[in-house]
Amino acid sequence: MRSPACRALRVAACLLAALPVAVSARESFRPPPLESAPADKYGALVLLGYRIVTDTPGNAARYAGNALSCTHCHVDAGRRPNAAPLWAAYVAYPRWRAKDDRVSTFEERVQQCFRFSLDGIPPALGSIELQAITSYAHYLATGAPVGAELAGRGFPELAKTGQDPNPDRGRLVYQNRCSACHGGDGAGKPGIPPVWGGRSYNKGAGMANVRIAASFIKANMPRGNPNLTDQEALDVSAYINLQYRPHDPRKGLLGILQ
């Protein structure tokens, strides 16, 4: 039983046994299509949530503060894995967050998207907008295990490249790979989000963090052909996040003076 052949067999068996697990861990959760949402009041709320997620300034006009929509970070209306999918977020809350240093609910997390990424005003708890977005995320998460860390949640973390992000190189990457859609001034176009300037996310948003934005860019940008290297993603993220954008609403004058 101690022969090398035997050991090799056992290793092979272990690998085989582990294989299906590995495959299922890689294969991400599939949210149900919007068309099969039930035709009842819940379904109507899901639909309203979908409309808000895909056109936030249009359908949550009271609270949206810039030209961004939820779907610009939560790509494909919150369905795509590795682009902060809403189905993975829904089952991950309530959870402790360093940003708040307390346990936040899903609704409070959505409020923060409005405060920071949408640079607007958080919808009150119980507002129809918050109910609709929560219902939509709940619907996308149909069948997902509650509390599970689903594959594809958030943005995939970049490995350390061994180099600092370099905004000078990032400018070249931006000009070659990004500016055709997002514009040389970063202001975007109709349907394409501004990546800096007064109509983009503010300095308190997750995207204002160079590593987080780089993870998003690496996994999702350029649209349809995300083939930047890790270093290019970091560089362009540093470049974008050095440009002007609305100030961090967590920082007041007192904080700056300190």
Q: Which residues are at the interface with other proteins (CB under 8 A)?
A: 41, 44-45, 48, 61-65, 115-116, 120-121, 123-128, 132, 204, 248-255
**Residue type for 19, please?**
L
Tell me how long the chain is.
258
Considering the complex, state which of residue 138 and residue 153 has its C-beta at the smaller distance from other proteins: 138
Provide the minimum distance between the beta carbon of 241 and other proteins in the complex, in angstroms, as a whole number: 19
Provide the minimum distance between the beta carbon of 253 and other proteins in the complex, in angstroms, as a whole number: 5
Provide the minimum distance between the beta carbon of 58 and other proteins in the complex, in angstroms, as a whole number: 9
Considering the complex, state which of residue 57 and residue 222 has its C-beta at the smaller distance from other proteins: 57
Considering the complex, state which of residue 63 and residue 201 has its C-beta at the smaller distance from other proteins: 63
Considering the complex, state which of residue 74 and residue 115 has its C-beta at the smaller distance from other proteins: 115
Considering the complex, state which of residue 129 and residue 235 has its C-beta at the smaller distance from other proteins: 129
Residues 6+ positions from 176 with CB-CB distance below 8 Å: none
- Angle between helix axes 210-220 and 230-241 (nearest 10 degrees) is 130
Question: What is the chain's alpha carbon radius of gyration, rounded to the nearest angstrom?
Answer: 21
Cα angle vertex 80, ends 36, 85, to 5°? 90
**Which two three-digit tokens encode residue 82?**
């590795």
Quote the CA–CA distance of 3 and 176 in Å, as a whole number. Answer: 58
Burial class (CB in 10 A: 0-12, 13-18, 19+), 137: buried
Provide the minimum distance between the beta carbon of 61 and other proteins in the complex, in angstroms, as a whole number: 6
Q: Pairing state of beta strands 95-97 and 102-104?
A: antiparallel
Provide the minimum distance between the beta carbon of 174 and other proteins in the complex, in angstroms, as a whole number: 29
The β-bridge partners of 95 are 104
Closest CA to 239 of 177, 191, 190, 193: 177
Provide the minimum distance between the beta carbon of 239 and other proteins in the complex, in angstroms, as a whole number: 26
Considering the complex, state which of residue 191 and residue 255 has its C-beta at the smaller distance from other proteins: 255
